[in-house]
Amino acid sequence: MFTKEIEKIFPNTTKVIPNKDLEIGGCSLVELANTYGTPLYVFDESTVRERCKTFIEEFRSRYPETHVAYASKAFINQKLTSILSEEGMGMDVVSLGEFIAAKQGGMDTSKIHLHGNNKSPEELEYVISNNIGRIIIDNFDEIENLSNIIKSKNCSIKALIRISPGVDPHTHSYISTGILDSKFGFAIETGDAEKAIKQCLEIDGLDLVGIHCHIGSQIFEIEPYNDAMDISVNFAVNMANNYNFILSEISIGGGFAIAYTQNENPPSVKEYAEIITNALKNACASNNIELPKLIIEPGRAIAGPSGVAIYRVGSIKDIPNIRKYVSVDGGMGDNIRPALYESEYEAVVLNKIDQENTEIVTIAGKYCESGDILIKDINLPHIEKDDLICIPASGAYCIPMSSNYNMNLKPAVILVQDGKSEIIRKRETYDDILSLEVF
């Protein structure tokens, strides 16, 4: 049943069509599923644009010099990139593949930042030759690789170094990155961050413009942002005193939480903006330094609420007094998050949108793993074969983490707006997935 509580985790344009189903962007989801097949991912263009505008406005109204770089790992697609670009967003990428997709989608490469804990020399050379905006240096091997490339190409680059401030954001350990025991960045605590700054400043052609930290993802508490900012600015001030380092830019990464279930209440963008910009202004004022440019990297908070997944029900297995398994035609191949992080989701039955929830079922995927469960024990209307199940908040970290496990095909992705739908990623075919094999 579609309630007011569940409405808030669906895209902005979602409406109930009484006795029928839901519409998003003016398009009936049942019709989309019948036209394009299932599993199907549907993105609402209005929600994408509105989320971009909200981040830009909330941050720039408090701190005009803010660069908003969408973290493309949440979901990258050339059409989506063109929309983000129109909205004035930059982008952060973590691989050559993401860089190429962003460039082909029309993103100005000088607005792209490259992250990653193991960037290959080939990746670095390619992005440098293509005028990348910033490289976020992650480790000592990378400093050496960059130094070699700068010498051999006789070029210059602008870079930030990624530091690990030792702040625990209290999120899932797989998405907590700013603590000492992390594969990312240089820890302040061990002295590595200082050593890295010193090394970078000694390399001609490497213009070290700032520091970056990303403390984790799905962060529901705002205080860790305050701490991370404070620690980062104080560290930069020490580096200014010791090595004449000038802090022109500071990135606080992403991590802005979204609601996946009706009970979750993440901070608003306004609250994140308030704490981050105040922390930065206060830290700069108390150290008497000029305000640097602020960079933020929201990923999930842009893509997540903009997309929904639609599945069709196949087999149903009822184990009396134990559990009723409702199997759908997708699962961990298109959404690994429940299996990987025990993430929770909500669902509605599209073709029974007005019906009361009457039974507790478990929505299972079709992959050959017992752990392939999309939602455990959810209350839904009575479900039958061929019903259509829609899972909201599926726009981030589903398609980009999808796989061909069990040789299943990756789903199609549709963009909707003003009653029109267009395919922005075709459903794979068996020829597609066999085409790389040599036999």
Active site residues: 368
Q: Compute the least distance from the CB of residue 291 to ligand PLP, in Å.
A: 22
| Interface residue with ligand PLP, options 39, 133, 224, 298 (CB under 6 A) | 298
Q: Do 365 and 311 form a contact (C-beta atoms < 8 A)?
A: no
Q: Is 49 in the site for ligand PLP (CB under 6 A)?
A: no
CA distance 120 to 137: 12
Q: Is 217 in the site for ligand PLP (CB under 6 A)?
A: yes
In the chain, what are the helix, strand and coil shares in percent, each to the nearest 5? 35, 25, 40
Instruction: Indicate the residue among 2 and 225 with the shorter CB distance to ligand PLP.
Output: 225
Would you give the binding string for ligand PLP spanning residues 98-127, x where CB under 6 A is met?
Answer: -----------------x------------
Q: Return the range that interacts with ligand PLP (CB under 6 A); candidates 117-125, 299-307, 363-371, 399-407.
A: 299-307
Helix (H) or strand (E) holding 235: helix 223-243
Q: Is 67 in the site for ligand PLP (CB under 6 A)?
A: no
Q: Roughly how many angstroms between the first and final C-alpha of the chain, as a whole number?
A: 50
DSSP assignment of 288-299, as one string? T-PPPEEEE--S
CA distance 346 to 3: 12
* HSE-up of residue 301 (Cα within 13 Å, Cβ side): 28
Q: Return the range that interacts with ligand PLP (CB under 6 A); candidates 6-14, 95-103, 187-195, 252-260.
A: 252-260
Residue in this structure with the two tokens 């010498």, named with its chain if needed: 151
| Interface residue with ligand PLP, options 105, 133, 224, 255 (CB under 6 A) | 255
Instruction: Indicate the residue among 105 and 254 with the shorter CB distance to ligand PLP.
Output: 254
Which residues sit opposite 161 in a β-bridge? 137, 211
CA distance 183 to 140: 13
Q: Is 254 in the site for ligand PLP (CB under 6 A)?
A: yes
Look up residue 427 and give its DSSP letter: P
Q: Do 311 and 330 form a contact (C-beta atoms < 8 A)?
A: yes
Q: Is 214 in the site for ligand PLP (CB under 6 A)?
A: yes
Q: Compute the least distance from the CB of residue 19 to ligand PLP, in Å.
A: 37
Provide CB contacts within 8 A for 363, sequence distance 6+: 311, 326, 327, 328, 347, 373, 374, 375, 378, 389
| Interface residue with ligand PLP, options 299, 305, 331, 411 (CB under 6 A) | 299
| Interface residue with ligand PLP, options 71, 96, 101, 206 (CB under 6 A) | 71
CA distance 268 to 106: 30
Q: Compute the least distance from the CB of residue 114 to ligand PLP, in Å.
A: 10
SS3 222: coil
Q: Is 398 in the site for ligand PLP (CB under 6 A)?
A: no
Instruction: Indicate the residue among 235 and 397 with the shorter CB distance to ligand PLP.
Output: 397
Q: Do 255 and 241 form a contact (C-beta atoms < 8 A)?
A: no
Q: Is 300 in the site for ligand PLP (CB under 6 A)?
A: yes
Instruction: Indicate the residue among 20 and 172 with the shorter CB distance to ligand PLP.
Output: 172
Q: Return the range that interacts with ligand PLP (CB under 6 A); candidates 35-43, 66-74, 223-231, 337-345.
A: 66-74
Q: Do 353 and 6 form a contact (C-beta atoms < 8 A)?
A: no
Residue in this structure with the two tokens 């802090």, named with its chain if needed: 247
Q: Compute the least distance from the CB of residue 398 to ligand PLP, in Å.
A: 12
Q: Compute the least distance from the CB of residue 224 to ligand PLP, in Å.
A: 13
Instruction: Indicate the residue among 134 and 366 with the shorter CB distance to ligand PLP.
Output: 134
Instruction: Indicate the residue among 71 and 294 with the shorter CB distance to ligand PLP.
Output: 71
| Interface residue with ligand PLP, options 297, 329, 372, 387 (CB under 6 A) | 297
Residue 113: name the closest of 77, 174, 67, 75 by CA.
67
Q: Compute the least distance from the CB of residue 142 to ligand PLP, in Å.
A: 14
Residue in this structure with the two tokens 């050959």, named with its chain if needed: 368
| Interface residue with ligand PLP, options 22, 83, 301, 399 (CB under 6 A) | 301
Q: Which residues bind ligand PLP (CB under 6 A)?
A: 71, 73-74, 92, 115, 214, 217, 253-256, 297-301
